[in-house]
Chain A
């Protein structure tokens, strides 16, 4: 080998190692993906906690360049916070608070217009465990948006006539888009799985909208939005300003306690009458709720299941209700094998994906990545901080409640937790079934046992003691 050739080869090798400069050899691609190094700096959210008047807490998140966002959040649990026969009241209250506030200078300029004038926006938020309102906008509009948030959270006006009009519109929407049956089916599955004996739907049902009154909303607001329960999560302004704007926040006089409902009856199967076109079977299984030690395992399993589509599989929803949750699996149609996709999905849950070793589940890394991707959005950061402070974060490590700082990060679930969750989800004795459809749907369910007709029922009450506590079922 001549010196000239040797020097060219040496240079070429150095070049390839250092950069992408043109090489005499044809570029090739590695046959396998490059190994992923361990996370250089695990994703974490550092939150400072400051006390506010009335026992509320301010959570200060790192500032984002040129942006401002803030939220007032409080814990919710439909099973205990909403009076019987007014299911979905909380969600309607959150929207109704955006109609008008005591702080509006001009009645024509409600909160939405006030937010727009500041170059921002205000929204209601409800994920079943935590609810409230949040604002976003440019950094310089921060103080104005924070005052608007305070007005909505602390002094909504709930104008009676506009509320009635909104309720009527919501009823029209349910009727014309045929969504009431779907809401009822899911609501009953969640309610029965949690032993509430009534539907715990994702929004107000037609019956709730027909019954509710302005005073119901005012009472719900007084009960839920108190400084002792609430946190104010903010990114983009100083803590002094938050304290100044929320100064003097005191709890309103305690509202009368909720009317005592009946003792719920235990039922495992229900039927909601509906047309053929809307026929479906809804399965509810109690699952680890927000704040539960096994929640991370559940989320890892669901992240794995979402990676690949299962043709003909059920629709899967994780419904949080306060600190408890229900995994809801919906399958369309009323064929005799309508439950087969649900069984198949549950059997496949936690199994290794194609090409994946069973010993190394994808879930932990995938779940951490999903949280990280979500954390690019202000709402996800605010609600993560709020949930952590309220003890409802989904399995992440946090400092003790009451501390002056929260360190939020993600922890993988251990194998034992995954096994526990899988065992619980696959246990047929823990499931409830709700069929929506014609009479044939009821007959199908009766093959498995007694069925409650939930078509018109607003709750299932146990008969007086001595009657087995299973009344209302047949």
Chain B
């Protein structure tokens, strides 16, 4: 039912009588006619109130969504959404002080949650039906904000982030890359990024933007709950929202560059990137599923239903991806599928085992190609279709989940007034779906031109899987063991400094290397034995000659034999060794040992530069 109510001059007497009759009848109509089960009300310009009856529900949920989402951010407005969310949730209003709204809700037994999406920021209160009028009053208060000082806004944002359940979690490492490459330059902006920027960008201009946009941005109020509760609160709802000031609109939405043909054409096919979040190697394959319905002559509900079945087929345990990749081929540890409700896309992220993501990527692409070419096995397809329908039904039966679902639909362009019809259409499309129709849709949807592959390798954190125990690595590790076990007389090494200066290793990399070596006890024992032997040898060598005499010997060997060859060189060398009272066979081991001393090495290299053979003409 679409009904418009605006404040207008008093009607003539006869019409007023009619209105009085209608006023008596209205509460009876609400909740009893099918048309009244879902409706939209525009009490003032820029505010839409949508009610949705949830049969058998035990709670009510009221969501206030403002058109100030991530898409409104850009150069100069980064962080706007996060601050707007803080102001919407906790900012001062006509009758409430800052931070009071959540307390009022709690006093009425209402649980408050908040979130931000691509095109909106939202605050939702959920609780028992008898608290519905308080929930509606709070929604109206939030749409009637008062100015907030920058410092106070900053404090509100800090408190918002500190509240359990509202702390933004960083996106999985590949998601920002994936969305940025899938949906264009602004696609990589996330709730996490907005909260970070709200703390790092200059506050005053952002606070001014929030103060300007918050009272003007268009608002959607979603109310879901049992019919009786909605009917009882209807008069109060109409009175409360009619008192609001008009909302002409917030900042103009930014142009979505990702919809441009030139962006679509130059969208990268494959992206390699590095992540410093942890040590996992991740492969993401994502498909942009926008704009399919008109091109395939489908209704948006049918398109939505196909997308739900695809997501279930690839995401559900027992589906097409997880068990084969993990249990049959042992290529991945986990497969995470993201299908954001408000963004027509499917993002498959695999946590890869081993050193390369190439095989996992190839397998994912093979499975999806198979899905298009041969389709899913019939019984699996039927199961996925039934499960998608069961999930939709469960979501629809929970008031808090239902307002979130309707918000997603509004983001996708559905008419909020027709939410009941949208649900029924999607449910009917899922119930009637045929495997061949799905395959036809998937053939178009999963085209490589809609696809981005992102491979992320870890950078800063040590990755034990990247450590190869070759001769060089083991040689370095043995030298390190010797350094630690028998440093030069009178010297001690600061481990971190030694690792950095001599071996170019961070402590974490050293730990990872040690862990890998220690996995093979036989090899570890062998290295320990070798280090012990080498220490014994060093002890003998150090007893033969102190370090400064080794330098003098080396200088004599290099400088005095410069330009000589053959017998002349041998004769001079013999004289040098006699002078230093040293057996010639000990010279090389002595020099090798001295090179291991970081303090001596620069001096040895200087001697070698000074006494280098003259360059050939």
Q: Which residues of A contact B (CB under 8 A)?
A: 4, 7-8, 11-12, 14-16, 18-22, 24, 26-34, 36-40, 43, 64-67, 109-122, 136-138, 141, 162, 165, 169, 172-173, 175-178, 275, 304, 306-313, 316, 353-356, 360, 362, 365-366, 368-370, 372-373, 375-378
Contacts and interface: CB of A to CB of B under 8 A. Distances in A.
B7 A362 contact: no
Given A26-B243, A67-B397, 7 more contacts: A20-B237, A33-B137, A66-B390, A307-B103, A308-B102, A309-B163, A372-B128
B375 interface: no
A419 to B, nearest CB: 21
A20 B239 contact: yes
Q: Interface size for chain B: under 10, 10 to 19, 20 to 34, or 35 or more residues?
A: 35 or more
* 9 A-B pairs closest in CB distance: A119-B386, A20-B238, A309-B162, A19-B23, A309-B163, A112-B318, A113-B318, A369-B109, A116-B318
A365 to B, nearest CB: 4
A169 B138 CA distance: 48
30 contacts: A15-B19, A15-B20, A18-B23, A19-B238, A20-B23, A20-B235, A20-B242, A22-B7, A22-B8, A27-B239, A28-B243, A29-B144, A32-B95, A43-B58, A65-B56, A66-B393, A112-B323, A120-B387, A121-B316, A138-B389, A169-B326, A169-B333, A175-B464, A178-B279, A307-B106, A316-B164, A353-B103, A366-B109, A370-B111, A372-B58
A333 B401 CA distance: 37
Nearest to B99: A354
Given A21-B22, A36-B108, A116 B380 contact: yes
A178 B397 CA distance: 39
Given A26-B7, A29-B140, A29-B243, A115 B111 contact: no
B234 A20 contact: yes
A21 B7 CA distance: 10
Interface of B: 5, 7-11, 13, 16-17, 19-20, 22-24, 26-27, 55-59, 94-95, 97, 99-100, 102-104, 106-112, 126-131, 133-134, 137-138, 140-141, 144, 155, 158-166, 234-240, 242-243, 278-280, 316-319, 323, 326-327, 330, 333-334, 351, 353, 379-380, 382-387, 389-390, 393-394, 397-401, 458, 461, 463-464, 507-508
A342 B415 CA distance: 48
A122 B507 CA distance: 43
Contacts of A373: 59, 111, 126-127, 400
A175 B400 CA distance: 37
A34 to B, nearest CB: 4
Contacts of B17: 11
Please indicate which of the listed interface residues A12, A33, A175 has the most CB atoms of chain B within 10 Å of its own CB. A33
Contact of A365 (B94, B107, B160, B400): B107
Nearest to B354: A172
B340 to A, nearest CB: 20
A43 B161 CA distance: 32
B390 A67 contact: yes
A306 B387 CA distance: 35
Contacts of A67: 390, 393-394, 397
Contacts of A313: 162
A137 B126 CA distance: 25
Contacts of A372: 58-59, 127-128
A32 B327 CA distance: 60
B99 A308 contact: yes
A393 B11 CA distance: 59
B477 to A, nearest CB: 19
B86 to A, nearest CB: 10
A377 B397 CA distance: 10
Contacts of B155: 311
A287 to B, nearest CB: 17
A377 B395 CA distance: 9
A119 B390 contact: yes
A95 to B, nearest CB: 11
Contacts of B386: 118-119, 137-138, 141
A110 B318 contact: yes
A110 B13 CA distance: 74
A368 B58 CA distance: 12
A376 B104 CA distance: 23
Given A40-B130, A116-B318, A312 B387 contact: no
A114 B279 CA distance: 34
Given A39-B130, A119-B383, A138-B386, A19 B111 contact: no
Given A21-B19, A34-B137, A117-B380, A376 B399 contact: yes
Contacts of B13: 4, 7-8
Given A33-B138, A116-B384, A362 B353 contact: no
B137 A112 contact: no
Contacts of A33: 104, 108, 133-134, 137-138
Nearest to A28: B243
A65 B397 contact: yes
Contacts of A122: 317
Given A176-B279, A307-B106, A43 B128 contact: yes
B383 A118 contact: yes
B273 to A, nearest CB: 17
